[in-house]
Amino acid sequence: MLVEHQAVLQMFNERPELLRPVKDLLQKFRADHMPIESGSETDYWRKVVTHFEKHPNEDFDDLDPFYVVDFGAVIRQMAKFRKHLPTVQPHYAVKCNPSEALVAMISRLGGGFDCASGGEFTMVLDSRFAEPENIIFANPCKSRADLKKAEAMGVRYVTFDNLHELEKIASFMPSAKAVLRIKTDDGAAVCQFSRKFGAAMSETQALLDRAMELGVRVVGVSFHVGSGNNDPNAYIGSIMNARRVFDQGNALGFDMKLLDIGGGFPGTAPTLDENGKPEWLSFEEIASHIHPLLDEHFANCKIIAEPGRFFSAASHTLAVNVHSMRVVQHGNNVNEYQYYINDGLYHSFNSIVYDYAHPELNLLTPDAAGEARVHPTTIFGPTCDSLDCILKMKPFPELEIGEWLFLTNMGSYTTAGGSDFNGFATRRMEYVYSIPPSFFDDLIEDEQEQ
């Protein structure tokens, strides 16, 4: 954490103009200053969640589920990104979590945005989170309505990966600065995208030729190695392939100046497996592989990335309450303890289905006696659907009605994909910033006094 704090100090020293917009945003959302001092991450969040559990929001029932959003986590991630990939401009993938607070903080810190639809770039532009030139319309296959909207609203950077898309861009987005998305080797990724998007290297020359015939201005190349890709060669190979496509485009007369290295960067530090080895590549390790190649092969180009979970994952912690329970006796005299919490698979926990997530439930008030009473446990969400199940017949400490549980790292592909099915949704949001006391806070106080 000390290393991350030093990166934050460096970022604000190098870009002091960011301080006032960040301070104003903290005030707008009435973010409580709750610095990380010592101890484990779990202990810190236990303290934070307990604070808000004991100070109910008057707009909600005191047992309603709630999120705690930490602006400090976003600030640290931006500082880390700039430290390890200083030549790359992050364009936050809005689809990951489009919350106003998160998008606004990334905007105030100077980030751009990766938008996949007209709805997303309209939100970013209407809220003045970015100018059109700081948005990339990065969905390779788009509706003509969204292409028309991008043209009208001044969005220019747009991706494509096939001949049919080129023809649509030529017809409905004539001012486009088109970016050719290429396939990657994402076989080692948890979430693979090259089955759905990307042109094979054998297709790139024909696509560039056709773009020239249609008058579509191609300005660069993009790729995405997939989320959770543990093979550094996927990044290395993609960068080298992009260089080859740059050379093809320049040979035709295009001015190739933009490289988009996509996303998939982890938003948390790797956990260790049973042998003590990291289960995935850290952001720092990924950056160590790609930064030298970017400097060598794209020194005079604009380089952007599309991080999503990198910024959002650690920014949200979810607190849920046990509202019901029952004990079911099976034929072998094994008692199954069944609990019902007030968020579930149709809302925040949809990431279990769609994002391969394995959220970890933590007791808010751990009790030695309670933890000793471990039973086969099933935990259901609040809806009437039997599929709404968070934990199924796993050992878990005995709980009581009214007890709180909390889950960290719940900011990615959670609320973004949730619904209000059966009328259930988590709407209470509380805000904090966990940056330790430093010159950052001193400058905020100085400005408040002026």
DSSP for 1-55? -HHHHHHHHHHHHH-GGGHHHHHHHHHHTT-EE----SS-HHHHHHHHHHHHHHS
Is residue 259 scored above 80 in pLDDT? yes
Phi/psi for 53 (5° steps) reads -65, -35
d(CA 406, CA 73): 17
Residues whose CB falls within 8 Å of the CB of residue 331, separated by 6 or more in sequence, listed in order: none
Mean pLDDT check: name the lowest of 18-22, 154-158, 176-180, 331-335: 331-335
What pLDDT, on the 0 to 100 scale, is given for residue 279? 73
Please compute the mean of the pLDDT values over residues 206-228 and round it to a whole number.
94
From residue 2, alpha-carbon distances to 8, 12, 33, 136, 347 in Å are: 10, 16, 18, 34, 35
| Topology at the third CATH level for domain 314-433 | Lyase, Ornithine Decarboxylase; Chain A, domain 1 (2.40.37)
**pLDDT class for 368, splitting at 50, 70, 90?**
low
Q: What is the 3-state secondary structure (H, E, C) of 361-404?
A: CEECCCCHHHHHCEEEEEEECCCCCCCCEEEEEEEEECCCCCCE
Is residue 447 scored above 60 in pLDDT? no
Please compute the mean of the pLDDT values over residues 243-259 and round it to a whole number.
98
Please compute the mean of the pLDDT values over residues 278-293 and round it to a whole number.
90
**Residue corresponding to tokens 């994002």:** 355
Catalytic residue chosen out of the listed positions 96, 191, 384, 389? 384
Q: Is 384 an active-site residue?
A: yes
Of the candidates 114, 117, 138, 104, the residue with the CA atom closest to the CA atom of residue 29:
104
Please compute the mean of the pLDDT values over residues 371-391 and round it to a whole number.
92
Domains of the chain, residue spans: 2-16+72-312, 314-433
- CA torsion 74-347-60-313 (nearest 10°) is -10
Please compute the mean of the pLDDT values over residues 396-403 and round it to a whole number.
95
Coil, strand or helix: which one is 181?
A: strand
Residues whose CB falls within 8 Å of the CB of residue 174, separated by 6 or more in sequence, listed in order: 151, 215
What pLDDT, on the 0 to 100 scale, is given for residue 438? 61
Highest mean pLDDT, choosing among 225-229, 264-268, 394-398: 394-398
| pLDDT tens, residue by residue, 269-284 | 877 777 777 777 899 9
Structure tokens at 37: 């001092």
Residues whose CB falls within 8 Å of the CB of residue 121, separated by 6 or more in sequence, listed in order: 113, 115, 135, 137, 149, 150, 153, 155
Q: Which CATH superfamily is domain 2-16+72-312 in?
A: Alanine racemase (3.20.20.10)
What pLDDT, on the 0 to 100 scale, is given for residue 369? 56
Mean pLDDT check: name the lowest of 96-105, 157-166, 206-215, 355-364: 355-364
d(CA 42, CA 403): 17
